[in-house]
Amino acid sequence: MHILPFLQLGFAAQVPLSSVSPASAPQIPQMATAKSDFTLSEGANALSPQDMLTLPRPGVPLPNDIGDLAIVPISTYSFQDRKSHKSLSVVALGDGRAYDIPLPDGGDAFWLDSRTIAHIVTKDDTQSLYTIPISTSPLSSDLSSHVGSFPITTASAFRYSPSAQRLVFSAYVYPDGLVETVKEQDKAYENRGNSGLVYDETFERQWDTWVGPKSKALIGVSLAKVGAKWVLGETYVNVLKGTGLSSPVEPFGEADDYDISQTHVIFTAKDPQLPKAMHTRQNIYFVAHDGKDLRQLTSGTQGATHSPVFSPSGDKAAWLELALDGHESDRAKVVIYDLKKDVRFTITEDWDRSPDSIIFSPSSALIYATTGDHARIKVFALAVPPTPPSNTTQTTQPAALTFSGSISGFTPIPGGRATFALSSLTSPNEVYELSGLDAAERDLLAGRKADVKATTLTRLTSFSSAGLQGKDLSPGKDFWFKGTAEGQDTHGYVITPPGFERGVNGKWPAVMLIHGGPESAWFDQWSTRWNPNVFASQGYVVVAINPTGSTSFGQKFTDGINKNWGGRPIQDLLMGWKYILQEYPEIDQNRTVAAGASYGGYAINWIQGNPELGFGFKALVCHDGVFDTTYNGYATDELFFFNHEWGGRPWDPAAFEASRKYSPAYTVAKWSTPQLTIHSSKDYRLPEGDGIAVFHALQQLGVPSRLLIFPDENHWVINAGNSLKWHHEVFRWFDQFIGLS
Distance CA 107, CA 126 (A): 12
Instruction: Produce one character per residue of 389-420: b if its CB has 16 or more CB atoms within 10 Å, e if not.
Output: eeeeeeebbbbebbeebbbbbbbbbebbbbbb
Please identify which of the residues 327, 679, 715, 727 carries the catalytic annotation: 715
Contact present, 271 and 285 (Cβ < 8 Å): no
| 3-state SS string for 371-407 | EEECCEEEEEEEECCCCCCCCEECCCCCEECCCCCEE
Contact present, 570 and 527 (Cβ < 8 Å): no
Sign of CA dihedral 338, 298, 262, 89: negative
Backbone φ and ψ for 189, nearest 5 degrees, come out as: -70, -45
Distance CA 317, CA 335 (A): 8
Nearest CA among 630, 603, 562 for reference residue 330: 562
DSSP symbol at 681: T
Q: Is there a catalytic annotation at residue 683?
A: yes
End-to-end Cα spacing for the chain: 48
Contact present, 615 and 607 (Cβ < 8 Å): yes
Please identify which of the residues 271, 443, 683, 735 carries the catalytic annotation: 683
DSSP readout, 270-321? E-TTS-GGG---EEEEEEETTS-S-EE-S-SSS--EEEEEE-TTSSEEEEEE
Q: Is there a catalytic annotation at residue 290?
A: no
Please identify which of the residues 357, 598, 659, 680 carries the catalytic annotation: 598
Sign of CA dihedral 730, 735, 740, 741: positive
Phi-psi group of 376: left, alpha or beta (phi > 0 → left; psi -120 to 50 → alpha; rest → beta): beta
The SS3 assignment for 471 reads coil
Q: Is there a catalytic annotation at residue 598?
A: yes
Distance CA 253, CA 256 (A): 7
Distance of CA 580 to the CA centre of its chain: 28
Distance CA 427, CA 239 (A): 41
Catalytic residues: 598, 683, 715
